[in-house]
């Protein structure tokens, strides 16, 4: 009997995985690694760190260091929450050990959604995407403060609901809505000049 078809629910795959079915674990990984990797990549700006986050999240699922309860929601949302926490932990460690550089423009005007601080080596300012329009949006996203970036990425890129994002980010729905609004506004502001530039038409 095939227990790992594309329609097999996550809960069934998890049960089979815990009973030792390697193909079930592999199916779970293949189903969720893409969105998780893309979230981590946009969130931290480093391919290597994003890969580490994905690996640690699934390793935690395997060892039950991160215990998923199917009664409390979907596995995808749970994994996003795990990835976000892992990234926050990495950022905390980095902030403890690295002196922050003095920035020429620490905050832009009155908008505290902006953060001109590369978070990773080679970080958000290193080019990741070939498409110019996509790369510009990614760079603008990387300049958002992390708590805005989380919400914008999860909403715009992963099409999660306010409630799911609230659960992942451990805030209430009103906070999700306001962070999304402010994050979008900050992005629009940063990209305003670029969007009206002649080269956009060619992107």
Residues 43-72 that bind another protein (CB under 8 A): 47, 50-51, 54-55, 58-59, 62-63
Stretch that binds another protein, among 72-80, 88-96, 108-116, 180-188 (CB under 8 A): 180-188
> How many Å apart are CA 48 and CA 28, to the nearest integer?
21
Nearest alpha-carbon partner for 58 in 36, 39, 38 = 36
* Residue placing its CB nearer to another protein in the complex, 49 or 81: 49
83 within 8 A of 90, measured Cβ to Cβ: no
Which of 147, 184 has the CB closer to another protein?
A: 184
| Count of alpha carbons within 13 angstroms of residue 105, beta-carbon side | 8
Q: Percentage helix, strand, coil, to 5, in the chain?
A: 65, 0, 30
Neighbours of 89 (CB within 10 A): 12
Q: Does 78 bind another protein (CB under 8 A)?
A: no
Binding mask 15-34 for another protein (x = CB under 8 A): xxxxxx-x--xx--xx--xx
Within 10 Å of residue 102's Cβ, how many Cβ atoms? 6
Choosing from 41, 77, 83, 113, the residue that interacts with another protein (CB under 8 A) is: 41
Under rule CB under 8 A, which residues in 90-149 are in contact with another protein? Answer: 129-131, 133-135, 137-138, 141
Rounded least distance, CB 196 to another protein, Å? 13
Nearest 5 degrees, angle CA 178-CA 181-CA 182? 85
Please say whether the dihedral angle defined by the alpha carbons of residues 139, 145, 150 and 155, taken in this order, is positive or negative. negative
- Residues contributing to the site for another protein (CB under 8 A): 1, 3, 15-20, 22, 25-26, 29-30, 33-34, 36-38, 41-42, 47, 50-51, 54-55, 58-59, 62-63, 129-131, 133-135, 137-138, 141, 155-157, 159, 161-163, 173, 180, 184, 187-188, 191, 203
């Amino acid at each position: 009997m095939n227990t790992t078809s594309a329609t097999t629910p996550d809960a069934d795959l998890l049960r089979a995985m815990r009973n030792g079915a390697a193909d079930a674990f592999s199916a779970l990984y293949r189903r969720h690694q893409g969105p998780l990797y893309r979230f981590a990549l946009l969130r931290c700006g480093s391919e290597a760190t994003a890969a580490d986050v994905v690996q640690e999240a699934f390793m935690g699922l395997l060892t039950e260091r991160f215990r998923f309860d199917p009664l409390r929601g979907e596995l995808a949302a749970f994994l996003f929450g795990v990835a976000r926490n892992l990234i926050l932990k990495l950022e905390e460690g980095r902030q403890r050990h690295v002196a922050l550089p003095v920035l020429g423009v620490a905050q832009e005007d009155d908008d505290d959604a902006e953060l001109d601080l590369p978070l990773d080596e080679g970080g958000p300012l290193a080019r990741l995407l070939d498409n110019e329009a996509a790369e510009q949006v990614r760079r603008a996203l990387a300049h958002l403060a992390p708590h805005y970036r989380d919400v914008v990425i999860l909403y715009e890129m992963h099409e999660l609901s306010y409630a799911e994002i609230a659960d992942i980010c451990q805030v209430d729905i009103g906070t999700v809505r306001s962070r999304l609004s402010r994050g979008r506004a900050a992005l629009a502001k940063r990209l305003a000049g670029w969007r009206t530039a002649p080269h956009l038409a060619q992107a």
